[in-house]
Structure 1
Amino acid sequence: MTHRRRRAGWAATGAAALLLTACGVGDGLMTAGRPGARYAETTPTPALSAAPPAQAPPSLTRARIDGAVAALDGVIRDAMTRTGVPGLSVAVVHNDRTLYLKGYGVRRVGDPRPVGPDTVFQLASVSKPLASTVVAGVVGAKTVTWDDPVAEHDPAFALKDPWVSGHVTLADLFAHRSGLPDHAGDLLEDLGYGRPYILRHLRHEPLTPFRASYAYTNFGLTAAAEAVAKARGVTWEELSAQMLYRPLGMKSTSSLFSAYAKAPDRAVLHVKADGRWEARYTRDPQAQSPAGGASSTARDMVAWMRLQLADGSFGGRTVIDPVALSQTHLPRIVSISPRAPFGEAGFYGLGWNVNYDALGRLRLNHSGGFDEGAATTVTLLPNEGLGIVVLTNGEPVGVPETVAEAFFDIAQHGRQTVDWLPLVGKVFAAMEQEGRSKIDYSRPPSDGRRAHPADAYTGTYDNPYYGPMRVTSTQGGGLVMRLGPKDMAFPLRHYDGDTFSYVTRGENAVGLSGVRFTVREEERASAVTVEHLNENSLGTFIRPR
């Protein structure tokens, strides 16, 4: 089983690359190095000169870029019309100037208040390149280095293997090469656990080869960011404001969910249900704030893109050390293996997808998405001094990526060479099906076995990762599974014999999933395995004897 949230970023460098990577969109478990090797050789952060490397001269003319900007209105309106996404805000920067800054649609379906350049959106995983910018600032201040072991600044940090625990660095976790499995810890967040509990329990996760496997982990990156904040003696949320948001005048940007929730001009989340967009969920990502919890506006993101494209300078002064910042733009690990002998590989840097287009230009990108109702993307071509950010208040269906890809396509070729929306949409539609059970629990077998009496299943079961589970019975004889610190209740529906189903909830929900009790001769369940929670073999709960 795999999670559906493969929103690491849009790694395409053109239509061909997009088709080759259609199954991954920047994520996946890729291995390299010697077969069977326990650890990769040490790969420290590459040494850089006192200034970022010189860039090749730009290849896009201002006229071509102006033409792409002029076409954006039509591209955006077409994408919104075809998908119905309620609201969208876009900004384009070029050579330290804002060329485009505009909002479209509404903040909430049924409410006429419009989206504007100052409407606050949840960024989801676009928070990651913001976070690596913050850490680059701390690296530039000589408080930490990218090669510092995380445990040096957070002695409580530990993974399953003691050797890895002592050697994994800030760069390893920001590049998703620690060996933690894909999206480790996310299901704990769905159950209501907070950041301290989740980070403390990463040590239960099985590890793949250290520095030789790529797996996208929100809480791995969060652990590194927390260690940096501890080194500075402040919270991550305050550190972000100190190092980045306040110096750039990003007055509407925060790493606190509470700031987003209080913003009077904010876009709420929307999902599509039965063909209609609805504001159904509230997504509080505070537990993974460095990885997915920032919120911002298109206007504020302009300042950050200008900083990135100006090697850490803003308004004529250095805000982030250029050497520390340029380290975030280097490829650290293969994130997408070539699908053909001469196919393109994808790379991940420090909080960025790092790739090179057909002209050899560096391309930095990251997308973000909440299945509960947000989709965002940012793409920079540093060689051209060009960047675009697209923020939406609808679940991921490919709109931000479509707008960004169409913009660069028109800038390069004078027109769209492909219809991006159906191409991108197919990728997101495929991701939507990931993680769903192979069993259709909505259709119990006609010759299914009867369940044991309810009291055979009721009681408390222990699990070192997910914590205790309580199974209780209702007055009508049904069963309810209760999990997490908030005692979340999941009614169970009988499927067959000692197997039941329940409706998953939260950001990683996958519809119906199975719950299988183990009942021995004593006619009393001794264990229960929850399918959705068992991806890394951590989902079995044991009844104490």
Structure 2
Amino acid sequence: MPETVKTSGLRSISVSGRMRILSKTGIMNKGIIDATGSQNGGMEMTIKTTTETTATPLQNKLEGLDNFVTNQLEQWKGVGTAVAVIHKDQVIWSKGYGYRDLEKKLKVTSDTLFAIGSSTKTFTATAAAQLVDEGLLDWDQPVNSYLQDFQMFDPVTTDRLTMRDMLCHRSGLPRHEMVWYNSPRSREELVHSLRYLEPNHNFRSKWQYQNLMYMTAGYLIGHLKGTSWEQVVQDQLLTPLGMNSSLFTVQEMQEQADYALPYMDQEGQNVSIPFRVIDTIGPAGSINSNLKDMTAWLQLQVQRGKWQDKALVSTGQMAEIHRPQMISDSPFHSKELPISTYGLGWMIEPYRGHAMIHHGGAIDGFASQVAFLPDEQIGIVVLSNTNGSVIPYTVAFYIMDCVLGLEPKDWTSTLLKLMGQGEQEAEQPAQKQLEETLAKGEPQVEEETKPEKTSAVLPLDAPASTYTGIYQHPGYGELLVHETDQGLQTRFNNIDMPMQYVGKHTFSVSLVLFGLHMDFTFEVNEDQPVPAASVSAPLVPEANANPIVFTRI
């Protein structure tokens, strides 16, 4: 991307989820660059060498990377980011930029831990490949042959759903994110709830990103090994790879010395927000890691399952997870990215004529991109502590252009023009439209949710007691409607949502985590003054999805 692009007024775009971009030589002979940088470009660099400090040809191709990353932080108003590049079994670039703690001015380093969000899915798929190698799992054996009580909404999917189906997102289920988001239920309880979740497409007919399926895949992996998904990943991947800093919970991360705080843009200012606990959905997105660990992960991938001359995964099974399984959606369809496919835990797409395999991630206050070029055996990881930041993707693309010897494409302008937004504009409506276009992963939540204001507040058409009470859906759980000093309020999964009456027993409810303003409609018998029997809520925004009906209990 040309450094002359004038977008310094841009704010970070808060993207509610996975933004899908297509996704040994070394300095000083196995040396690693470890550096931190200020948001204004001042670099503090420590070079650890074992012999010499002569830059390699690949590193020479990245001579503009420092300036580019610093400019991206300024243009998109990012807080901090960490960038690493590997070639075969060597780390050729590993640096931190900006701040892990903006208030204390603590800089990002190669050791700084970030939540990697849906990039976790690559670990779940690789662990499954190991179980196939061990003879414990068959990609195409129905899940209910391993989990006897397993059941989906319809009998066909129940009898035929496999690990392959779950990992390539073709179950027929829409996202159903509110089932798990902030839910107090256990992983096992959420797996049980799948039988009550209605699909919106036929089984295996369409690619639809689905976190619950990855949670179920992780649950099955743990079941087959007689332990948990976390323990399997720890014992069979993290420990053998020396990924000793990587953790499964944000609680553990905050006990470490060097971790990034999550930030989001609020009225033009980066504000620290609470960490989002997603332990239950862990196999879909809970890993926290740093550059030093993630470079080992990339080395395993580019070397097709080998690590330090030891095969952790067979070449055949690595090829299986890196092979396209389904045509997927892409918000960046262009001549550079002409087609998008999904493998098992990885996106597989051609980037400017070169094979590219990658997976992004996003969770409250964090964004990541993990990518590699299999033919060139080059891997890239970019981590960010700015909510929904596009920086991991623009930086990854820039690196690919450099190492491939291509003229860098101006992805900053491309992202803006994608939504018909001019280079000099960064208004919230266009940002919101871009969010909705790119949203493919974990949702982000602001701590307060407020309904859209109207010119007048309508009086209720029935006493408040008609609506208050506890309602239940067998898959979603309980929804509480109660009175507060400010009026009626809904509580679901410990998330409070104010309600604004709009008439005909319907309330506007603001759900910021999905950027939605939904109409909750109560079923009321007009002839009898009795409490509403149910409330219908459009919690599944995908096309063809029916509203979720909660029945009074």
- TM-score relative to the length of structure 1: 0.81
Q: Does 1:451 align with 2:461?
A: yes
Aligned twin of 1:131? 124
Aligned twin of 1:392? 384
SS at match of 2:383: strand
Q: Does 1:492 align with 2:499?
A: yes
Which of the residues 285, 300, 303 maps onto 2:296?
Answer: 303
Q: Distance in 2 between matches of 1:539 and 1:457?
A: 17
Aligned twin of 1:180? 173
- What is the letter of the counterpart of residue 191 of structure 2? L
Q: Distance in 1 between matches of 2:60 and 2:140?
A: 43
Q: Distance in 1 between matches of 2:169 and 2:89?
A: 31
Aligned twin of 1:258? 251
Which of the residues 428, 435, 438 maps onto 1:432?
Answer: 435
SS at match of 2:491: strand
My pick for the range that moved more, 156-165 or 422-431, is 422-431
Q: Distance in 2 between matches of 1:339 and 1:318?
A: 36
Q: Distance in 1 between matches of 2:410 and 2:59?
A: 21
Cα pair distance change 1:462/1:307, threshold 3 Å: closer
Cα pair distance change 1:541/1:175, threshold 3 Å: same
User: Does the aligned pair in 2 maintain the 1:301–1:389 contact within 8 Å?
Assistant: yes
Q: Distance in 1 between matches of 2:394 and 2:480?
A: 45
Aligned twin of 1:11? 22
SS at match of 1:540: strand
Which of the residues 323, 329, 343 maps onto 1:349?
Answer: 343
Q: Distance in 2 between matches of 1:79 and 1:231?
A: 44
Q: Distance in 2 between matches of 1:84 and 1:407?
A: 20
Which of the residues 81, 85, 93 maps onto 2:78?
Answer: 85
Shift of 1:539: 2.0
SS at match of 2:62: helix
Aligned twin of 1:541? 550
User: Does the aligned pair in 1 maintain the 2:306–2:313 contact within 8 Å?
Assistant: yes
User: Does the aligned pair in 2 maintain the 1:245–1:254 contact within 8 Å?
Assistant: no
Which of the residues 318, 331, 339 maps onto 2:324?
Answer: 331
SS at match of 1:206: coil
- What is the letter of the counterpart of residue 345 of structure 2? G
SS at match of 2:368: strand
Q: Distance in 2 between matches of 1:8 and 1:220?
A: 19
My pick for the range that moved more, 375-384 or 222-231, is 222-231
Cα pair distance change 1:4/1:415, threshold 3 Å: closer
SS at match of 1:413: coil
Aligned twin of 1:470? 480
Aligned twin of 1:461? 471
**Equivalence map 1:50-65=2 (5 Å):** 65=58
User: Does the aligned pair in 1 maintain the 2:178–2:476 contact within 8 Å?
Assistant: no
Shift of 1:285: 1.5
My pick for the range that moved more, 324-333 or 511-520, is 511-520
Q: Distance in 2 between matches of 1:321 and 1:258?
A: 34
My pick for the range that moved more, 190-199 or 519-528, is 190-199
SS at match of 1:224: helix
**Equivalence map 1:139-150=2 (5 Å):** 139-150=132-143
Q: Deviations over 1:492-523 (max 9, x none)?
A: 23333422233325xx3425433222322213
User: Does the aligned pair in 2 maintain the 1:469–1:483 contact within 8 Å?
Assistant: yes
Q: Distance in 1 between matches of 2:122 and 2:352?
A: 23
User: Does the aligned pair in 2 maintain the 1:402–1:424 contact within 8 Å?
Assistant: no
- What is the letter of the counterpart of residue 355 of structure 1? E
Q: Percent identity?
A: 26
Aligned twin of 1:522? 528
- What is the letter of the counterpart of residue 357 of structure 2? L
- TM-score relative to the length of structure 2: 0.80
Which of the residues 393, 409, 412 maps onto 1:421?
Answer: 412
Q: Distance in 1 between matches of 2:323 and 2:171?
A: 17
SS at match of 1:320: coil
My pick for the range that moved more, 520-529 or 184-193, is 184-193
More helix by share: 1
User: Does the aligned pair in 2 maintain the 1:158–1:202 contact within 8 Å?
Assistant: yes
Shift of 1:316: 1.8
Shift of 1:191: 4.4
My pick for the range that moved more, 315-324 or 493-502, is 493-502
Q: Distance in 2 between matches of 1:314 and 1:447?
A: 64
Which of the residues 480, 488, 491 maps onto 1:479?
Answer: 488
Shift of 1:412: 2.6
Q: Does 1:189 align with 2:199?
A: no
Shift of 1:464: 1.9
Q: Distance in 2 between matches of 1:334 and 1:163?
A: 22
User: Does the aligned pair in 1 maintain the 2:369–2:382 contact within 8 Å?
Assistant: yes
**Equivalence map 1:302-321=2 (5 Å):** 302-321=295-314
Q: Distance in 1 between matches of 2:362 and 2:335?
A: 31
Cα pair distance change 1:477/1:394, threshold 3 Å: closer
Q: Distance in 1 between matches of 2:124 and 2:320?
A: 13
Shift of 1:67: 3.4
Shift of 1:68: 3.2
- What is the letter of the counterpart of residue 522 of structure 1? Q
Cα pair distance change 1:214/1:414, threshold 3 Å: closer
Which of the residues 141, 152, 165 maps onto 2:158?
Answer: 165
Q: Distance in 2 between matches of 1:515 and 1:79?
A: 41
Q: Deviations over 1:158-197 (max 9, x none)?
A: 111222212211111001012222x234443244444223
Q: Distance in 1 between matches of 2:407 and 2:282?
A: 38
User: Does the aligned pair in 2 maintain the 1:125–1:291 contact within 8 Å?
Assistant: yes
- What is the letter of the counterpart of residue 283 of structure 1? R
- What is the letter of the counterpart of residue 487 of structure 2? G
User: Does the aligned pair in 1 maintain the 2:241–2:307 contact within 8 Å?
Assistant: yes
Shift of 1:124: 0.2
Q: Does 1:119 align with 2:112?
A: yes
Q: Distance in 2 between matches of 1:432 and 1:357?
A: 22
Shift of 1:396: 1.5
Shift of 1:403: 0.2
Q: Distance in 2 between matches of 1:396 and 1:340?
A: 22
User: Does the aligned pair in 1 maintain the 2:16–2:514 contact within 8 Å?
Assistant: no
Shift of 1:450: 4.2
Q: Distance in 2 between matches of 1:164 and 1:333?
A: 17
User: Does the aligned pair in 2 maintain the 1:362–1:382 contact within 8 Å?
Assistant: yes
SS at match of 1:212: coil
Aligned twin of 2:196? 204
Shift of 1:460: 2.7
- What is the letter of the counterpart of residue 69 of structure 2? I
Q: Distance in 2 between matches of 1:9 and 1:259?
A: 28
Q: Deviations over 1:380-416 (max 9, x none)?
A: 1010010100000011231100001011112233542
Shift of 1:82: 0.9
User: Does the aligned pair in 1 maintain the 2:471–2:552 contact within 8 Å?
Assistant: yes
Shift of 1:84: 1.8
Q: Distance in 2 between matches of 1:169 and 1:211?
A: 11
